[in-house]
Amino acid sequence: MTFHVALASYSFHGLVGKGQLTLLGYLELLSSRYQVHWADIWTGLLPPESLEADYLKLVRGWLDERQIGLANLCVDGPYLWHSDPDVRKQHEQLMLRYLDAARILGARSVRIDFGGDDQAMPEDAFEAIVARYRAYCRICQDNGMMIGPENHWGWDRDPDNLRRVRDAVDHPAYGHLYHVRDGTKPDGARILEVCLPSLMHTHFSADAVTWCKPLLRRLAASGYAGDCRIEHHSGQHELARVAWQLGCLQSQIAELEAESPDAADDEGFIARSVRQGQPQEVRS
């Protein structure tokens, strides 16, 4: 069992928002500070105005020089459905530009969301989403990539929507980016069941990474060959907190790689350590 570990650039969105980190700086952090060889680029660090060929070739050079692969390009901004046809067309044009950027950067996968809200997905939206994904899947397949949604907002959060779109697209380049949630919560287990057969990438947030060893074991048993990525969200103390979160994931992967099937520790060191809690004298 071998998992590729990736580190999301969104983990540093606080530093990005303060103007203290650029895309090239993020790649240098991966290489020099964290020794991680798989990037996950969020388009907050690659906005539309930066999608020029010369700059993308510069970024690709930095990736290659540091022996970093691009596990995923997370596309925020454009999404597949908008009720306004003119806005929808603008989104389509921008999504095609990001797919070309993903090609230049050598991405393994691309995340583009459905769109939508808390209401049921209307039939015209469903048909448009399926048609767009089929077109994008053809592009991605020609360039060795996969494409699909992430279960984190809009219609992407509904497992029935995820299953219905996946089955209708029915293409080998279509996949899911699984944002790990607590499986005990409503729809959490159902989302995993939908995502697992066509899983292309995973995100482990700070509130999931301490208990994820059983999930990692399940991913390994399924034959998953994608990347396990940490994504930090607090926007504060990011350099230190990312190191902690990364260590939690790497520790559990190391345990799994060293264990024999008949002597497996299902909970693991990290989960047990967190479960201990604070003694009363510390809280007083």
Segment holding 207, helix H or strand E: helix 206-209
CATH number of residue 202's parent domain: 3.20.20.150
The three-state secondary structure class of 4 is strand
As a whole-number percent, the residues of the chain with pLDDT over 90 amount to: 85
What are the C-alpha distances in Å from 172 to residues 34, 79, 98, 146?
33, 21, 20, 8
The Cα–Cα gap between 124 and 22 comes to 39
Q: What is the pTM of this model?
A: 0.94
pLDDT tens track for 64-116? 999 999 999 999 999 999 999 999 999 999 999 999 999 999 999 999 999 99
pLDDT tens track for 26-58? 999 999 999 999 999 999 999 999 999 999 999
Q: What is the mean pLDDT of the chain?
A: 93
Name the domain count of the chain: 1
The band of 133, judged by pLDDT with boundaries at 50, 70 and 90, is very high
pLDDT at site 60: 98
Using the structure block, give the residue that is written with the tokens 């969020």. Answer: 42
- Whether 176 contacts 195, CB under 8 Å: yes
Q: Which amino acid, residue 132? A: R
Which residue segment(s) compose the domain that 107 sits in? 4-283
pLDDT tens track for 265-278? 888 999 998 887 76
- For 208, counting Cβ atoms within 10 Å of its Cβ (0-12 exposed, 13-18 middle, 19+ buried), the class is buried
